[in-house]
Amino acid sequence: MVRHLQPHIRYFIAIAEELHFRRAAERLHVAQPVLSRAIRQLEDQLGVILLQRSRRNVSLTAAGSVFLEECYLAREAMKRAEQRAIKANKGESGRLIVGYTDFAINGVLPSILATFHSHLAEVSIDLVRCDSHEQLEAIEGGRLDVGFLTGPVSGAGLRQVTVHEAPYMAVLPYHHPLADLESVPLKALSEEVFVLGNMHTWRHFVSQIKALCFEAGFIPRVVKEAPNSDSIFGLVAAQMGVTIYPDCDLNHNRRDIILRPLADTEAKLITEMVWSSSSTNPVVARFVDVVTRTRTNRVPRCRQERGQ
Amino acid sequence: MVRHLQPHIRYFIAIAEELHFRRAAERLHVAQPVLSRAIRQLEDQLGVILLQRSRRNVSLTAAGSVFLEECYLAREAMKRAEQRAIKANKGESGRLIVGYTDFAINGVLPSILATFHSHLAEVSIDLVRCDSHEQLEAIEGGRLDVGFLTGPVSGAGLRQVTVHEAPYMAVLPYHHPLADLESVPLKALSEEVFVLGNMHTWRHFVSQIKALCFEAGFIPRVVKEAPNSDSIFGLVAAQMGVTIYPDCDLNHNRRDIILRPLADTEAKLITEMVWSSSSTNPVVARFVDVVTRTRTNRVPRCRQERGQ
DNA sequence: CACCACTGATACCCTGAAGGTATCAAAACA
DNA sequence: TGTTTTGATACCTTCAGGGTATCAGTGGTG
């Protein structure tokens, strides 16, 4: 144990507990005169008599009692400081700033965080809702420790692990003719009009959708851009158009839209956990470690059927 | 300001705040190399890198941030310890064990304590209900700081101040013939039977009542001994007898008994504040000081009349 | 009452931790 | 390329803090 309090304080505590200079000196492994002097100095500095000592008896004064209690608190505070620093160094304590997208928070992130919390309850996690490209900047700039964002990701100094892959689904209004099919060929959507997320916050995702359509041989006609998932689904339900969306929990809560797998593509929306390889925060390594080791537990999901 | 934390901690705090060794050194009035070494030693002792320092930049590691926060707490704890010790020495902080009797707690004590609390809120007062003679023993034995008890008091090493004098009153059942008088001569009670407190807890008080009667030329016939004030008044109301009781607030709350001043005596029940002249607790002196300086404010009391 | 055991305080010495000076090496910048 | 500025290193110095010897009351004991 490191000794961060002045020796005077340690000595005072020992003497106050023993109420005996020689015994306290033995306990502290110092010579008795050392204590006589230390207490005198302490009392001089404070201008307060702490110990009432006669030739035969040592007792605490009222001020000494008060000081002793407070010294205990200070000593505990100092011990705690050491221990927390050591734990923080091992990544077992501290703070972690985690970024997430809508896809992540509606997908795997909650269970990941719950798992991590059960492993290392002393780490406090700050969650920040942040678009994928903003997260990447923040991670590179050191403002974010870990990001959960839409891949693919490339960047020097970034490390990543895929935490989730969600197949793309066709999202159709309830009475749309294509909803009769078990699965929807991507090309079948070429004549449809699309509702998509706007380019500002959905940059990563929308450009992937567009690439997907391009590969299938058409350019999607976007009639509406929406800022968030609810708006997109609402507009589809309102028969403003169709859209393509990854298969995540969020979809299955609505009864006014139909989801169908895409037939002729294996493309998936990839959610990556990303962190900086130059990160100095040990909690990051710890977090990544826990997440990768427990990554296997996926939440099973049942297929939605139209009509009841 | 005394410096009770190891210099290392003070240095670490300064550097963490300045994030600059030279500036921190200036602020601390030490040479810069001192800080380089102190931090290295601190880090060695903890086994934790606290400051990430390149030739051009100093920044806190994650563990360093944690340690800094905890160091602040420890520093505050230590400052607080000093200040409380100094205050305790001046009697402005600390603990006071105060004894009281039923008469005191129903008389002047509440306002005295309220006044003291408004003067010195940092003193915590432990109140102990305790009979007069037990209080005297406890004060002499150092187990009690101040007592509020029934006088007169004599004892070497005891100091005292009279905080209240209450004239004795005749306490009569509601329909008692003597209740017709404005004031009751003590002798008129010589043929009555008495309800008094028992000798165990009411020793001081009962012996004074008996002395009073003896001076008036009779020995009171005690038919009932009761352990507390409520019992005494209840027994009087039940026409078991009369009693003599000091004039204090408690009396005036009952409608089934009548209080009349005693006509032919000036005797009063004296409540003394008593403390040990050898007391080492500065709070005692402070308390006594506050009480004696503000003793003048007595609570005025109106006379009770029979029959609405 | 003389004696002894034991207490905390004092006097004095010594060591090493902590502070100082000079300087270095790397980085940033003009 | 030279200059400035940074934290680190080497080495010297000093005094706070630790040690030993001893003192001076105190209380118990034969």
Query: Given A63, A73, A77, which is nearest B89 (Cβ)?
Result: A63
What pLDDT was estimated at residue B299? 43
Q: How confident is the model at residue B147 (pLDDT cuts 50, 70, 90)?
A: very high
Higher pLDDT: B306 or A126? It is A126
Return the pLDDT at A201: 80
The whole-angstrom distance between A66's CA and the closest CA on chain B is: 6
pLDDT digits (tens, 9 = 90+) for B85-97: 999 888 888 889 9
Of A302, A206, A214, give the one whose Cα is nearest residue A245: A206
pLDDT of A13: 92
- Angstrom distances, CA of residue B275 to CA of B10, B95, B148, B151: 44, 15, 9, 13
Give the DSSP letter of residue A242.
B
Alpha-carbon distances, residue B300 vs A144, B108, B296 (angstroms): 70, 11, 12
Predicted local distance difference test score (pLDDT) of residue B100: 92
pLDDT digits (tens, 9 = 90+) for B207-250: 888 888 888 888 888 888 888 787 888 888 888 889 998 887 65
Fold classified for B7-89: Arc Repressor Mutant, subunit A (1.10.10)
Structure tokens, B2: 């005394």
- Round to a whole number and report the distance in Å from the CA of A32 to the C1' of C2: 29
Q: Which two tokens stand for residue B242?
A: 């009369």
Q: Nearest Cα to A192, choosing from A168, A223, A217, A169? A: A223
Cβ contact, residue pair A94, B280, below 8 Å: no
Say yes or no: Cβ of A33 under 7 A from any atom of strand D.
yes
Reported as type and span, the H/E element at residue A10 is helix A7-18
Please list the pLDDT of chain A residue by residue as tens digits (308 residues).
456 778 889 899 999 998 888 888 988 888 889 999 889 888 988 888 899 887 678 888 888 899 999 999 999 999 999 999 998 888 888 889 999 988 888 778 888 898 898 888 888 899 989 888 889 888 888 889 999 998 788 877 888 999 988 888 899 988 888 888 888 888 888 888 899 988 888 888 888 888 888 888 888 888 888 888 888 888 888 888 899 988 876 556 677 888 888 888 888 888 899 998 888 788 998 899 998 888 654 443 334 444 43
Q: Tell if B22 CB is < 7 Å from nucleic strand D.
A: yes
Partner B contacted by A40 (CB < 8 A): no
Check whether residue A12 has its CB closer than 7 Å to nucleic acid strand C: no
Record: contact A84-B67, CB cut-off 8 A: yes
Give the closest residue to B271 by CA, choosing from B115, B113, B98, B102: B102
Half-sphere exposure of A114 (CA within 13 A, CB side): 7
Share of chain B above pLDDT 70, in %: 93
| A8 with B8: Cβ contact below 8 A | no
CATH fold of B95-301+304-308, please? Answer: D-Maltodextrin-Binding Protein; domain 2 (3.40.190)
Chain B CB contacts of A45 under 8 Å are 2
What number of helices (H) and strands (E) belong to chain A? 10, 11
| CB proximity A283 to B under 8 Å | yes
At A227, the amino acid letter reads P
Residue indicated by tokens 């200070």: A74
Domain with CATH 3.40.190.10 in chain A: 94-162+272-293, 164-269
**A12 and B CB contact within 8 Å:** no
Separation between Cα atoms, residue B155 and residue B145, nearest integer Å: 15
The pLDDT of residue B253: 67
The band of B188, judged by pLDDT with boundaries at 50, 70 and 90, is confident
From-to residues of CATH 1.10.10.10 in chain B: 7-89
Model confidence at B302, in pLDDT bands (50, 70, 90)?
very low
d(CA B171, CA B247): 10
Query: pLDDT per residue over B16-40, tens digit each?
Result: 988 888 888 888 888 888 998 889 8
Here the tokens at position A250 are 């969020």
- A94-162+272-293: CATH class: alpha beta
Calpha distance A156→A276 (Å, rounded): 9
Q: Where are the beta strands (DSSP E) in B120-251?
A: 123-129, 146-150, 158-173, 193-197, 221-226, 243-246
The predicted structure's pLDDT at residue B273: 93
Is the CB of residue A62 less than 8 Å away from at least one CB of chain B?
Answer: yes
The residue-averaged pLDDT of B184-212 equals: 86
Is the model more confident about B6 or about B128? B128
Q: Give me the pLDDT at residue B301, please.
A: 39
Q: Number of H helices and number of E strands within chain B?
A: 10, 11
CATH 3.40.190.290 domain extents, chain B:
95-301+304-308
The class level of CATH for A164-269 reads: alpha beta
- Kindly list the residues from chain B whose CB atom is less than 8 angstroms away from the CB atom of residue A48: 85-86, 88-89
Closest by Cα among A139, A67, A65 to A99: A139
Chain centroid to Cα B145, Å, comes to 9
Looking at this protein, which amino acid is placed at residue A191? E
